[in-house]
Chain A
Amino acid sequence: MSNTLEELRQLACHDLGMSADDLKNDVTFAELGLDSLMLVDFMFAVEDKFHIEIDHDAAMKQPTIAGLAALVDALLAGDGDAGTPAASATAVAA
C-alpha cells in the first residue's frame, strides 16, 4: 500500500468516523455512505493535508479511496494531466 493511500485511509477514518475495516479501497464513496456535500468536505481535508488543489470533477472519475490516492500522487508529482488546469497548476508548497 502506498504511503498516500495509507495516509488517505487514516484521514478518512479520523474525519468520517469510519472503521478501517469498513473503508474498502475500491468501494465508491457513495457506497461508503458519503453524500456529495460530505465528499466535498472530505476533499477540502485532503487538499489541506497534502497542500494541493483537487479538481473535484477529476476526482469523481475514480470515486474511491484508491482512485483518490492515485490522483493525489499524480498531483504531488506535478502531473498536468491529473486534473483540470486548476489542479495541474499546483502541488502547492506548504
Chain B
Amino acid sequence: MNAEAVWITGIGACSALGPDAASFADALAQGRSGIALQPGDPARGVAPFAAAAVTQALGQDMPPAQRNLHDRHSLMALQAASEAWAQSGLPATAPRPERAAVAWGTGLGGSNALQQSYGEHLTKETPRIHPYTVVRVMSNSAASHLAMRHGLRAAMLTISNACASSAQAIGEALMLLRQGRADLALVGGSEAMLNPGSVAAWQAMGVMAPPDPEEVSRSCRPFDDGRRGLVLGEGAAALVLETASHARARGASALAVLAGYGHSVDAVHLSRPDADGQERALRAALVDAGIEPAQVGYVNAHGTATDVGDAVEAESLARVFGPRGVPVSATKALHGHLIGAGGALELIACVQALRRGELPPSANVRTSALEEIADVVREPRAFDPSKSMVSNSFAFGGSNVSLVISAA
C-alpha cells in the first residue's frame, strides 16, 4: 500500500501539569511534578495516596444540566479536544463530517459516574439512580460527545485496552486515514479514576507507590533503583490527525508526522509484562514507519516505575536498539499514570519535545542499575531533529503499542 503521510496538526492536553499542551511541556522540561497527596477515604479503608490530580474546574462553559451528561473524564476530553481542534485551525465543526472520524481511548470510562450512581443506589434508604448513569458510564461516552461537538461522522472507534487504550486509538486512526476511510481524525484518550472505589482496587493490587515520606511529589521514580510502583494520574490528551493532502489543501502545517504504529499481544499473563511482546510491537512500529532502529533518537518509555515493568522495558529496548542504544525517559514521574489516556499524553510529550528540540528528562532517578542497558535521560538533552521518536504503551491484559513520530 502506498499510503500518504498522516500529519499531526493540533494537540491538546488537560493534566495535573496544567490546562494545556504548552504548560504540560513546560512542566516536563522544568521537572515540575503534578503529584500530590490525596486524602483518600480512611473511613472506608482508602488510605491517603499520591496521585496527579487535575485541579482546575471543568465544564464551566455549560449549565449544570448539560454538564450532568458527562463523567469527569469526558469533560477533560472536551477540554483537550477543544485545544487540539483550535490549534489545527479547522472550523468549529468538520467541513466534511462524513470524512471526519474520532478514535478515543479510555481504560475505565465513566468510573466516577459509576461509583456515584451505584453508591447512591445501593446505600441510600430509598434507592434512586440517575437517568444519565448509562450514558455517563459507557466507555464510548467521550467519543460520542466529541463526535457531536465537532461533527465527526465517518467513524467512531473506542478502544479500551487498559494502559494502551489511547495509543492504540491513535494507531488505529492512522490505519483508517491511510486506508482512505476519512481525511481527518480527532484522536486521544481520557481517564479519571481517582475516586475511592477505583483507588482501593489499585491499592489492593499492590502496584501503587506509597507516598514518598519526604517529598510526595517524588513518589514516582521510573528506572530508579528505589522505584516502588506507579502513581495514578488523571486527564485527557487529544490530537488532530489529517492526511497530508487534506492538511495542505487547507493551508495547515504539520506539528509532526505520525509515521508508524506497532501493536502486539503477549497472551501470556494478565499483568506481567513480556519483553517478547514489547519487542514485537517496537519492531512492527519501526517497520511501519520505514525506519531502522538507528534512526530513532528518543523513546518515551511506558515506564510506570514498577520493579518488573521498567526492567522488562529496558530489556526490550536493548534488544531493539542495542544496550544504551537510544535515549529514554519516563514522563510518568511527573504527570502520573493516566492509564487509558497515558499513551496520548505521552505522544504529546514527544511532539512537544520534537518541536522544542529538547528531550524531557526522566525525573526522580537517583541511582539506576538499569542504566547498564538503558540510556536514561536525566537532564534536558538536545534532540537531533533528523531522527524519529517512539512512544511506548504497554497494558495490563498484554496489549503493547508503539507509535513513531518524526519531523515534517
Contacts and interface: CB of A to CB of B under 8 A. Distances in A.
Partners in one complex: yes
Interface of A: 14-17, 37-38, 40-42, 44-45, 47, 53, 86, 90
B64 A53 contact: no
Interface string B132-156: 1000000000000000000000000
B65 A41 contact: yes
Interface in B55-89: 62-66, 68
Contacts of B132: 37, 41
Contact of A17 (B62, B128, B130, B131): B62
B126 A16 contact: no
A41 B130 contact: yes
Contact of A45 (B62, B64, B126, B131): B64
A15 B66 CA distance: 8
A14 B126 contact: no
A53 B125 CA distance: 12
Contacts of B66: 17
Nearest to B135: A37
Nearest 4 CB-CB pairs, A to B? Answer: A17-B63, A40-B131, A15-B64, A15-B65
Contact of B126 (A15, A40, A42, A53): A53
What is the interface of chain B mostly: helix, strand, loop, or mixed? loop
Contact of A38 (B62, B65, B126, B128): B65
A89 to B, nearest CB: 8
Contacts of A47: 128
29 contacts: A14-B63, A14-B64, A15-B64, A15-B65, A16-B63, A16-B65, A17-B62, A17-B63, A17-B65, A17-B66, A37-B131, A37-B132, A38-B65, A40-B130, A40-B131, A41-B65, A41-B68, A41-B130, A41-B132, A42-B65, A44-B128, A44-B130, A45-B64, A45-B65, A47-B128, A53-B126, A53-B128, A86-B126, A90-B126
B110 to A, nearest CB: 15
A86 B124 CA distance: 14
Given A41-B132, A45-B64, A47-B128, 7 more contacts: A14-B63, A16-B63, A16-B65, A17-B62, A41-B68, A41-B131, A90-B126
Nearest to A40: B131
Nearest to B66: A17
A2 B89 CA distance: 51
Contacts of A86: 126
A67 B64 CA distance: 22
Contacts of B62: 17
A77 B63 CA distance: 31
Interface in B114-130: 126, 128, 130
A45 B65 CA distance: 9
Contacts of B131: 37, 40-41
A14 B65 CA distance: 9
Nearest to A13: B63
A37 B133 CA distance: 11
Contacts of A37: 131-132
A12 B328 CA distance: 53
